[in-house]
Amino acid sequence: MRLIDEAILKESRGKLILLVFDKNGTRAMEVNESFAFLWNKFSGTDFSTEDLASALVEEYGIDPESASVDASSTITIWKDSLLLKEG
């Protein structure tokens, strides 16, 4: 999997905001800290659900099972929000 390139993560006025400029137009969404962490870590690289889970364990010290659940739900959000590259 790979994240789309046409997006920028910004911190402004105490908020983390993902701005997407793709073929669907311009979108802006407020995201949380763990979303931002994963986005920054995996932008521009290929990754798997397991990579995301490992990163969450390392960064937040959570147990592997919870990390795996969080990683899966993050990927679902990315898919639903068209933030993953097609193909």
Residue 59 phi, psi (nearest 5): -80, -45
Cα angle 10-83-54, degrees, rounded to a multiple of 5: 85
32 binds other proteins (CB under 8 A): no
Q: If DSSP codes are grouped into helix, strand and coil, which group holds residue 27?
A: strand
Name the one range near other proteins by CB under 8 A: 22-30, 35-43, 62-70, 72-80.
Answer: 22-30
Pattern of binders to other proteins over 49-68, x per CB under 8 A? --------------------
| CA 61/CA 39 separation, integer angstroms | 18
Smallest distance, other proteins to C-beta of residue 9, A: 10
> CA distances (Å), 22 to each of 7, 19, 26, 28, 38, in order?
8, 10, 7, 11, 20
* 5 versus 46: smaller Cβ distance to other proteins: 5
Smallest distance, other proteins to C-beta of residue 75, A: 24
Q: Which residues would be at the binding site for other proteins (CB under 8 A)?
A: 8, 10, 12-14, 17, 19, 21, 26-28
